[in-house]
Structure 1
Amino acid sequence: MLNLIINADDLGLTPGCSKGIMQALTAGIVTDTTLMVNTDFTEDALAQLKQQGITRVGLHLNLTMGRPLLAADQVPSLVDAQGRFRRRVAEAVPLMNMADAKRELSAQVDKFLATGLGLTHLDSHHHAHTYPGILEIAIELAQQLQVPLRQGNDAVRQKITQAGLATTDAIALNFYEQGTTLDNLQHIIHSHPTGTLEIMCHPAKPDQLLYEISSYNHWREQELTVLTSREIRAFLTNSGVRLVGFDALQA
């Protein structure tokens, strides 16, 4: 039997993102989500979680969107001249002082813990934690918190498991853009008959702000349609797939 985690990234990015994720969690097949704690809409996302009675989510570690929680002069290598994170992770990481990155990510953990929510796992915006240096910080944080850490590829998975941390057997990153179809989602699931698979997703009700700040916008509404469809629910039932969250990795 396949244990399937469907995790929605970007909770708190915009109001429309949070609304879409809430719908996918409560009326669809999404089983987990990860919260961004450094945005203008973190508090809105927290209110929506409380309204739905959701008390456990993941933390979306973020070094590439918006402003850091810490003052720019405390983490100077993470920000541009405007005090904002650099958007392109491949350009941002080589400029980072890892001590700055650790201070900021630790601050994000502290803010998450202060919400009172239970923590299911860690992952990161733009897969920043899969890059050397940041990966080691993410592993250390996950060890301290005793929670699973998202993998990104076989090399990252091996380092995570060698550190004694839980992660999934496989991850699918291709339910994305043109791949946000029912057929492709079914194909992804069929391709992993056993073990534990995470499918990363980004459902949303796209708002104007999302179009302004993210190049990945209208596809998110297509994701939401597929993830809340009767067809995908029927497919999972007929396939004998077990839907679980990241908490299942700690059982």
Structure 2
Amino acid sequence: MVNMPTTAHGVELLKNEPIAFSQHTNICVGKPLADHDQIPSLVDEEGNFKSSKMYREATEDFVVFSEVMLEIEAQYQRFLDLFGRKPDYFEGHAVTSANYFKAMEQFAAEHGLKYSGLPQSQGRFFDRGCLYR
């Protein structure tokens, strides 16, 4: 998750290893990379991402498509800065949002990325490896 504080250190340790690297797009842990004022649907009053618990407990999708696209783009640019290349695959982290899935799919298509996430038509949400309907 490229928005986390120790990501650069981890990348330096592993980036020359012969392994695949993913952009594990995160919108529920830590601080965003996009300006938090431009993505109010994703952040709390302190500028941190809303928690995965908030997504699970929501009765409707509060994620604004255009806002999540801004954060996905910011994380993609950070990945490119860290690795100097596109990710081998592209997926997301623990969120209950049809708009998030739609944005991930569209972003992957627009950038020619191998999307290995859950298509929005396959279920309500994907959290910690489990599909909930």
TM-score, normalising length from structure 1?
0.43
Q: How many residues get paired?
A: 121
Distance 1:85 1:100 in 2: 12
1:106 matched residue in structure 2: 73
Q: Give structure 1 stretches of 5+ with no counterpart.
A: 1-35, 158-172, 175-251
Query: How far is the alpha carbon of 1:141 from its aligned partner?
Result: 1.2
1:64 matched residue in structure 2: 28
- Tell me which amino acid in the other structure corresponds to 1:40: P
Q: Give structure 2 stretches of 5+ with no counterpart.
A: 124-128
1:19 matched residue in structure 2: none
Distance 1:109 1:39 in 2: 14
2:13 matched residue in structure 1: 48
Distance 2:21 2:38 in 1: 28
User: Structure 1, residues 90-134: CA drift from partner, whole Å, max 9, x if none?
Assistant: 2477322221111111111111122214411111111x3x73111
Query: How far is the alpha carbon of 1:73 from its aligned partner?
Result: 1.0
1:73 matched residue in structure 2: 37
Q: Higher relative contact order at CA 8 Å, sep ≥6: structure 1 or structure 2?
A: 1
Q: Alignment partner for residue 131 of structure 1, among 89, 97, 103?
A: 97
2:126 matched residue in structure 1: none
Distance 1:72 1:153 in 2: 27
Distance 1:155 1:76, change over 3 A: closer
Distance 1:94 1:145, change over 3 A: same
Query: How far is the alpha carbon of 1:86 from its aligned partner?
Result: 1.1
1:145 matched residue in structure 2: 111
**Structure having the higher Rg:** 1
- Displaced runs of 4 or more, over 6 A: none
- Tell me which amino acid in the other structure corresponds to 2:112: Q
